[in-house]
Amino acid sequence: MNAEQPQTRIQKKNRETILEAALEVFSSESFRGATLDQIALAAGLSKPNLLYYFPSKEAIYTELLSTLLDTWLDPLRALDGSGDPIDEIIGYALRKLEMSRDFPRESRLFANEIVQGAPRILDQIEGPLRTLVDQKADLMRHWIAEGKIAEIDPHHLIFSIWATTQHYADFNVQVRGILRPDGDAHFDDAAAFLTALFRRALTPRPD
C-alpha cells in the first residue's frame, strides 16, 4: 500500500493497529527476533493483510523508529531560550523522565537499535538529531557566557540527562527489582533527585 495515497478510516485504523502490535513485538523480541507472523498475530490480522499495508518487517520497523525519534526530540525542541536557564534544563530532564514512565516500550526499542549500531536511523542521528543537539548546546554556551548557569560541557550535560532518565525505561526490571516500588511511585523520587542533582550542577558558584 502506498502510504502517500489517501487512506480510509479503516485503512488508517489497521495501520495504527499494526504499528502498535509491532511496537510490542519489537520491544520485547528485538528486530532480529521478531517475525511478521508474530506481528500479524498481535495485530489480529492475517499475514497477507499485514503485507498489504507494509511490504516487509523492515518497513514496519523503520516507520516505528522514524516516528519514535521525532517524538523523542520534542522535549529538546521545547528548551526555550527566553526562559530561566536552570528551570528550562531541569524541565527538559523531567520531561524525558516522564517519557520513560509513559513510553517504556518505545525507549527500549530505540535503545535496542542504538546497541545494534543504529543501521536504520544513523542518517537521522548524524543529521537532524545532531543539528538539534548542537543548536541547544550553543544556547547553553550562551547561558554560560552570561553567567546564568555554571561552566559545564553542554553536550555531555545532554548525554547525562538521557542516561539518567531513559535508564528508568531501559533498565525497568533492574530498577523495580531493587526498589520494589508501589506502582510508579519511584518516578516521583527520581524527579526530586534529578531536580536537586541538576540544580546543584547548574547553579553558578560564587567567585
Predicted confidence at residue 67, as pLDDT, reads 86
Residue with cell 546564568: 148
> How large is the average pLDDT for residues 159-179?
96
> Average pLDDT for residues 163-177, to the nearest whole number?
95
> Please, what sign has the CA dihedral across residues 18, 40, 68, 58?
negative
pLDDT tens digit sequence for 63-121: 998 888 888 889 999 999 999 999 999 999 999 999 999 999 888 888 888 988 988 88
Mean pLDDT of the chain: 93
**Taking the domain 1-55, which CATH number applies?**
1.10.10.60
Topology of domain 62-202 in CATH is: Tetracycline Repressor; domain 2 (1.10.357)
* Mean pLDDT on 4-11: 76
Model-level pTM? 0.87
CA 119 to each of CA 12, 105, 124, 186: distance values in angstroms, whole numbers, following the listed order: 28, 19, 10, 34
- pLDDT over threshold 70, residue 1: no
pLDDT average, residue stretch 114-132: 91
What is the per-residue pLDDT across 20-72, written as a single tens digit (0 to 9) for each? 999 999 988 888 899 999 999 999 999 999 999 999 999 999 999 888 888 88
pLDDT band for 162, please (50, 70, 90 cuts): very high
Residue ranges of the domains in the chain?
Answer: 1-55, 62-202
